[in-house]
Amino acid sequence: DQQVKQNSPSLSVQEGRISILNCDYTNSMFDYFLWYKKYPAEGPTFLISISSIKDKNEDGRFTVFLNKSAKHLSLHIVPSQPGDSAVYFCAAISSGTYKYIFGTGTRLKVLA
């Protein structure tokens, strides 16, 4: 039972345009969400996070939106750059469990 899903395995976007990566979850106990970025042959690196008490968090070109009623979050990257090409994982936590539940990842390719 995959509690966190990223239904798009891949996405291609033109440089300068907006990239939108989506993530859906099923467990209403999740109250904190994170996005990680992963390059080939490297471990995931933290990108941005959001608490369930917020609906938006912004950090430079990266914005995460959370829609609790829909159990959906999205990561917006604008403008997209070729260096953003990587696999993006969303992760969810319910407080006190100490563990992340990761999605399966979306491979983003930004075309120059």
Partner 1 sequence: DTAVSQTPKYLVTQMGNDKSIKCEQNLGHDTMYWYKQDSKKFLKIMFSYNNKELIINETVPNRFSPKSPDKAHLNLHINSLELGDSAVYFCASSQERGGRETQYFGPGTRLLVL
Chain residues that interact with partner 1, rule: CB under 8 A: 2, 32, 34, 36, 41-46, 49, 51, 89, 93-100, 102, 104-105
Cβ count within 10 A of residue 60:
8
Q: How far is the CB of 93 from partner 1 (least distance, A)?
A: 5
Q: Which CB atom, from 57 or from 94, has the smaller least distance to partner 1?
A: 94
Q: How far is Cα 112 from Cα 1, in angstroms, rounded to an integer?
A: 38
Q: In what order do the strands lie in the sheet with 19-25?
A: 4-5, 19-25, 72-77, 62-67, 56-59
Inter-CA distances, 89 with 33, 60, 108, Å: 11, 19, 11
Q: Which is nearer to partner 1, 65 or 100 (CB)?
A: 100
Residue 101 token pair:
């539940």
**CB-wise, 45 or 81, nearer to partner 1?**
45
Supply the minimum distance, in Å, between the C-beta of residue 34 and partner 1: 7
> At its nearest, how many Å lie between partner 1 and the CB of residue 27?
14
H or E, element range at 24: strand 19-25
Taking the complex as a whole, the smallest distance from the CB of residue 102 to partner 1 amounts, in Å, to 4
Instruction: Report the residue number, 36 or 71, with the smaller CB distance to partner 1.
Output: 36
